[in-house]
Structure 1
Amino acid sequence: MDILLSHGYFLPEDPHELKIMKPYPPLGLLYLSSYLKQKSFAVEIFDGTFQTQAQFAHVLSTKAPKLVGLYTNLMTKFNVLEMIRQAKAQHCIVIVGGPDPPYYAEAYLNFGADVVVMGEGEQTLEELIPILSQEKFAQLGAIAGIVFKDEHGQVQRTPARPLLPNLDVLPMPDRAAIDLKKYVETWRRHHGKGAISLITSRGCPYSCTWCSHSVFGKTLRKRNAKLVVDEVEMIRAEYQPDMLWYADDVFNINHKWLFDYAAELKRRNIQIPFECICRADRMNEDIIRTLKGMHCFRVWLGSESGSQRLLDLMKRGVKAEQVQAMTRLAKRYGIETGMFLMWGFEDENEDDVAQTVEHVKKANPDLVLTTVSYPIKGTEYYRRMAEQNLIVSKGEWTSMNDRDYRLAGRHSKRYYDFVNRWMYNELALQRLHESGNGAWLQRARKKINAQLGKLGMRWTAKEKEA
């Protein structure tokens, strides 16, 4: 074995994820595996999704890999730190990559990692594996896109590696390396539909201030539409999923590509329902009609706020009215709509919140997911908050991630719980009004709960998170 690849998502050890039961396979690692195998490397994957950290430790002790590559994001960071500790205890050379390490590279190195990969990992690992396997550490400086410590213990950063210009040179993800059918069966058992994920692109060209581009960058690169359909055909034949999840940052940016892809799916008579994330400013009736014809059953829109002032501050490049119109239009075509909202962004005030509640009512999406904004290191949002000395860290790096940052002067979690109570009940009232359904008692309860949400906001308005 030249390298053991793994990640830090352990479903059996995560009470929150056990309630949700919507696991997706580690596509990034599967791409690395297929690419490296194509280059004649011996690769194994420890897929921890349905296993435990104790089982990972057992694999380390029994297989004794010299190189271990770990993918990490801010949600899996704590597990990955433990995996680094376990790997170093077995004298492995540890490589870490993914969206979290680039802006905390020195911290990961200090904890025990030997090399941090910045950005896409395929070509970097192709060059790293021979050097690390032969312990030619003096040659690390010649590899683009990494951070490491030299023989004097000094942190060295090599120049950034250019993004892969042509994704079609990559083989399909190495789904055969893991028990993918278990993912499909888990989805089917808990949600009635077996799901599989895939991507048609890398990179996002937009500049939303809160969004990290640390792995795939800001350059949109699309795969050849026919090659993606080849992959879908293979997925259908091998795994028989009931639905697909297109895990692209934004699915509908390139209209010509989307029309070509839809035509190829139709030509091959592929009709697998799917969901995806789209931007409202890149939607119109032709796009929505095309998505419907492709059997899209749900589209998620990154709305974030109904306050145009905040949307402009976020550099979202979209109008609230566009989100409302495209949500309504998608629903008219029978596509379920989901909306993402973000509370507490920068200097959000009660008027911004009220505009967002009205925005949600006007759009009337089928699903709404909310979060309280958090500054991810490396983003413009983080930089602006740091420049104003508003970021409060209440712990050591090893015991917190970016979601644990607090912003001085911002409302408390209880306040935003009441905001959600107001918004969700106002939306429920809107649905009852539009459908003409609901007894007076049901409407009265929703109205009372909405008012209690507003009252709760006033009761907790002076509570601050930091």
Structure 2
Amino acid sequence: MVVLTHGYFIDEDAAEQQIMKPYPPLGILYLSSFLEEQGIANEVFDSTFSSFNELSNYLISNSPLVLGIYVNLVTKLNVVKLLRFVNTHQALKNVKVVLGGPDVRYNKEAYLKLGANYIVLGEGEETFGELVAAIIRQDKVDHIPGISFLDKGKVFTNQERPLNKELDKLPFPNRKKIDLAKYLATWKQYHGYSSITISTMRGCPYTCKWCSRGVYGKSYRRRTPANVVEELEYIAQQYNPDNIWFVDDVFTISHKWLAEFATIVKEKNLNIKYECITRADRMNDEVIKLLKQSGCFRVWIGAESGSQNIIDLMDRRVDVDLVQQMIRAAKQNDIEAGTFIMLGYPEETEQDIKQTLKHLKKANPTFYTITITYPIRGTELFQQVEASSNVAELDFATTTDRQIAFKQTFSKKYYQYAIQWINSEMTFLQRKERDLAWHDSLKAKLKSVKARIGMYLEKRKLVA
């Protein structure tokens, strides 16, 4: 038997517990359905609402021939723990562990030496299917494209497998293998509506220096609108969610695709509500109309900074004024608009952060998120900070890329104060717009002043 899992436990994720927006592991659900098409029996242990002990006991009880595990920054430490468990438990001595996902390409040797038998690089379906079939037959694997493995202590990596250009041929994710009702119920409980994820494309052709391309590279491949609508119809019949979340990096990248999608949705009289992510330079008035026509109620428009200088350093290739225009235009067409902000990018100054706040005030998005920059291995940002900052070597088994220390303009505490300052100023603006009681606005302004003092004191430490 083949078992697929991902090692994410919501009970261990304090940040997620604050928002409670869990999504099913689409990657391994695609693998599951592909294996089924190949006649290979498999089960999915969806760990999201489970625990490490329950996963461990499940593996002992079932002792699979192959254990496939998806790995990213969030799941890495649990995957390391799971590798050690499998490799030290007598009942699991014959299990072949296969790892895939965005964290494996640039860490393959470390994972193999921690006990993984094989690493799947890039897209997983064909490579994993071929690898599992070879393991079942007890055949050699040295000819299978897209894998890494150890032989006599040395890492061997086979040639890359070409990316799949015909995504319509892939079966839909095997959602019946998990308890999807738990996800829908959780969303309903915490947000008043349920939501399901769909992927329509793979890869992103843009060049943002901080973005990981460990799985799909700089590619752009997409399912046809008709194929996507077919999946939407299936999901509506089987699960009847309130909303759809398209997980694509740039949903409106092809205006022709979007127009065809909107036409088919209208022809089929398909009543869907969805949210998506895109870029300001792939939006205009016509695109916004198509989004609205096809059911979009919320669009996330990437910015990352309100400083054009920082956007250019990131190689985002977008104009900050256009981002503001598109956020406002979406809202004017009754589409909620969210955006993303990143603080602490190399060379960012306090003036850049002030411009970011000014940008947010001008755009006034419905929602926004702020993160502090961290370099991911394999990205141009990581290469940049590694070359200039003397990045300290971390213990692979106990840390993630989020803990990589690199040279930033200010301290981590400074950026935490900066986030508080921006949040307080935006809260003040929004409360003022809603004409709330003066003392509510005053509270926000006092928090803003307190955060600015914190920023000032942290900055003083740099010259002390």
Please indicate the TM-score interval, normalised by the length of the shorter structure.
Answer: over 0.9
Which SS does the other structure have where 1:330 is aligned?
A: helix
Between the two proteins, the alignment pairs up a number of residues equal to: 458
Q: Is the 8 A contact 2:211 2:379 kept in 1?
A: yes
Cα deviation for residue 256 of structure 1 reads 0.6
Q: In the TM superposition, what are the counterparts of 1:77-96 in structure 2 within 5 Å?
A: 77-88=76-87, 89=89, 90-91=92-93, 92-96=95-99
- CA distance in structure 2 between the aligned counterparts of 1:254 and 1:22, rounded to whole angstroms: 28
Per-residue Cα deviation, 1:236-276 (whole angstroms, up to 9, x for no partner): 11101011110111111011101111111111111221111
Residue 68 of structure 2 corresponds to residue 65 of structure 1: no
Q: Residue in 2 aligned with 1:459?
A: 457
Q: Is the 8 A contact 1:411 1:462 kept in 2?
A: no
Residue 233 of structure 2 corresponds to residue 233 of structure 1: yes
Q: In the TM superposition, what are the counterparts of 1:58-457 in structure 2 within 5 Å?
A: 58-88=57-87, 89=89, 90-91=92-93, 92-136=95-139, 139-150=140-151, 152-393=152-393, 395-432=394-431, 435=433, 437-457=435-455
Cα deviation for residue 432 of structure 1 reads 4.5
Q: 1:365 to 1:132 in 2, by over 3 A?
A: same
- CA distance in structure 1 between the aligned counterparts of 2:70 and 2:367, rounded to whole angstroms: 30
Q: 1:389 to 1:12 in 2, by over 3 A?
A: closer
Cα deviation for residue 451 of structure 1 reads 2.8
Which SS does the other structure have where 1:342 is aligned?
A: strand
Cα deviation for residue 410 of structure 1 reads 4.0
- CA distance in structure 1 between the aligned counterparts of 2:385 and 2:136, rounded to whole angstroms: 42
Structure 1 counterpart of 2:131, which letter?
Answer: L
Cα deviation for residue 441 of structure 1 reads 3.5
Q: Is the 8 A contact 2:261 2:294 kept in 1?
A: no
4+ residue runs of structure 1 moved beyond 4 angstroms? none
Q: Is the 8 A contact 1:244 1:275 kept in 2?
A: yes
Cα deviation for residue 100 of structure 1 reads 0.4
Per-residue Cα deviation, 1:81-106 (whole angstroms, up to 9, x for no partner): 12222333211110000000111000
Comparing 317-326 and 78-87, the one that deviates more: 78-87
Q: Is the 8 A contact 1:6 1:69 kept in 2?
A: yes
Q: 1:463 to 1:123 in 2, by over 3 A?
A: farther
Using structure 2 for the length normalisation, give the TM-score: 0.95
Cα deviation for residue 42 of structure 1 reads 1.1
- CA distance in structure 1 between the aligned counterparts of 2:390 and 2:302, rounded to whole angstroms: 26
Structure 2 counterpart of 1:228, which letter?
Answer: V
Using structure 1 for the length normalisation, give the TM-score: 0.95
Cα deviation for residue 409 of structure 1 reads 4.7
- CA distance in structure 2 between the aligned counterparts of 1:389 and 1:333, rounded to whole angstroms: 45
Which SS does the other structure have where 2:459 is aligned?
A: coil
Comparing 438-447 and 87-96, the one that deviates more: 438-447
Q: Is the 8 A contact 1:68 1:87 kept in 2?
A: no
Q: Is the 8 A contact 2:118 2:149 kept in 1?
A: yes
Per-residue Cα deviation, 1:352-409 (whole angstroms, up to 9, x for no partner): 111111111111111121001000000000001111134234x411110000111135
- CA distance in structure 1 between the aligned counterparts of 2:460 and 2:166, rounded to whole angstroms: 53
Residue 24 of structure 2 corresponds to residue 25 of structure 1: yes
- CA distance in structure 1 between the aligned counterparts of 2:72 and 2:391, rounded to whole angstroms: 20
Cα deviation for residue 458 of structure 1 reads 1.0
Cα deviation for residue 12 of structure 1 reads 3.1
Q: 1:436 to 1:199 in 2, by over 3 A?
A: closer
Cα deviation for residue 53 of structure 1 reads 1.4
- CA distance in structure 2 between the aligned counterparts of 1:382 and 1:211, rounded to whole angstroms: 10
Which SS does the other structure have where 2:371 is aligned?
A: strand
Comparing 416-425 and 190-199, the one that deviates more: 416-425
- CA distance in structure 2 between the aligned counterparts of 1:430 and 1:19, rounded to whole angstroms: 24
Which SS does the other structure have where 1:391 is aligned?
A: coil
RMSD: 1.6
Q: Is the 8 A contact 1:375 1:382 kept in 2?
A: yes
Q: Is the 8 A contact 2:146 2:159 kept in 1?
A: yes
Structure 2 counterpart of 1:425, which letter?
Answer: S
Comparing 414-423 and 276-285, the one that deviates more: 414-423
Q: 1:183 to 1:149 in 2, by over 3 A?
A: same
Q: Is the 8 A contact 2:201 2:248 kept in 1?
A: yes
Cα deviation for residue 462 of structure 1 reads 4.6
Comparing 17-26 and 244-253, the one that deviates more: 17-26
